[in-house]
């Protein structure tokens, strides 16, 4: 994340929290931009906002600020009411733990203080998300494989999504995910018996290293998809074994 982007985020948080009424409780920046290992241009960032009242009427004062933020091509903020946020731990445990690991508080109170998630909820969400993201990747790969540039875009755009799943996988098996992408891949591949070299090209790319251009139906793209398939199958089988063991006990 560039200094300019961070300054924009801080200015956004300042404008939001200085509005009268005190509806905004927390403003947090999260994403790969606050993790190591990403070159400028490949690091993504997002804004999480916690408000006391998320009704349309209560959000009206912040609408011009949010609209101005989005017009600058910055990602739309995630807006939770305090109650929604507290009740989301069973629905979004993977995302919550991911944000907890890599976030920066811009204004207000830290929304992760006192918030807990369960391993069972993580397994359930991870299984669902791994299946769903695999289906989406498979469809997008089928469309982009004939064009090297489109295939390049697919790998770059999808990898952060699968990093989230890999971090969830590492937590599921009892580990602590590493922040740097290459180390995270080593962890996830060791846990699920995947070929980490299938991810080398895209990790080099987002790290700012020189990589060869992809061609149509490039083997790099095919191997990437194949290892993601194996990861989804591992999560499915692991979650099934965990449920069976819990039922037996």
- DSSP for 127-188 reads HHHHHHHHHHHHHHHHHHTT-HHHHHHHHHHHHHHHHHHHHHHHHHTT----SSHHHHHHHH
Q: Decide if 146 contacts 152 (C-beta within 8 A).
A: no
pLDDT at residue 29, rounded to an integer: 92
pLDDT of residue 74: 85
What does the pLDDT read at residue 8?
87
At residue 178, the pLDDT reads 93
Tens of pLDDT, residues 54-95 = 999 999 999 999 999 999 888 899 999 999 999 999 999 999
Please tell me the predicted confidence (pLDDT) of residue 45. 79
Q: Which residues contact 99 (CB under 8 A, 6 or more apart)?
A: 28, 30, 48, 112
Q: Which two tokens stand for residue 132?
A: 């769903």
pLDDT at 1: 53
Q: Spell out where the chain has E strands.
A: 24-30, 46-51, 78-81, 103-108
Low-confidence ranges of the chain (pLDDT < 50): none
Residue-wise pLDDT tens digits, 181-210: 999 999 999 999 999 999 999 999 998 999
Q: The dihedral of CA 57, 61, 64, 70: what is its sign?
A: negative
Q: Tokens 């606050």, residue?
A: 34
Q: What integer pLDDT is reported at residue 44 of this predicted model?
A: 73
Crossing angle for the helix pair 219-248 and 181-192, to the nearest 10 degrees: 60
């Amino acid at each position: 994340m560039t200094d300019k982007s961070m300054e924009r985020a801080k200015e956004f948080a300042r404008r939001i929290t200085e509005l009268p009424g005190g509806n905004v409780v927390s403003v947090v920046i999260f994403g790969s931009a606050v993790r190591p290992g990403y070159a400028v241009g490949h690091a993504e960032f997002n804004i999480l906002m916690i408000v006391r009242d998320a009704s349309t009427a209560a959000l009206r004062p912040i609408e011009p600020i949010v609209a101005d933020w989005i017009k600058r091509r910055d990602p739309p903020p995630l807006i939770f009411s305090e109650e929604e946020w507290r009740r989301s731990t069973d629905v979004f445990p993977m995302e919550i733990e991911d944000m907890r690991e890599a976030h920066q508080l811009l204004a207000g109170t830290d929304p992760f203080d006192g918030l807990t998630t369960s391993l069972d909820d993580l397994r359930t969400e991870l299984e669902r998300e791994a299946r769903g993201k695999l289906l989406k990747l498979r469809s997008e790969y089928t469309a982009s494989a004939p064009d090297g540039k489109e295939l390049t875009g697919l790998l770059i755009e999808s990898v952060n999504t699968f990093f989230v799943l890999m971090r969830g996988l590492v937590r599921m098996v009892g580990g602590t995910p590493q922040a740097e992408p290459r180390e995270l891949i080593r962890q996830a591949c060791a846990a699920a018996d995947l070929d980490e070299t299938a991810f080398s090209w895209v990790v080099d790319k987002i790290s700012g290293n020189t990589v060869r251009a992809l061609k149509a139906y490039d083997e790099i793209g095919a191997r990437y998809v194949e290892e993601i398939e194996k990861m989804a199958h591992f999560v499915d089988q692991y979650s099934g074994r965990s449920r069976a063991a819990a039922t037996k006990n």
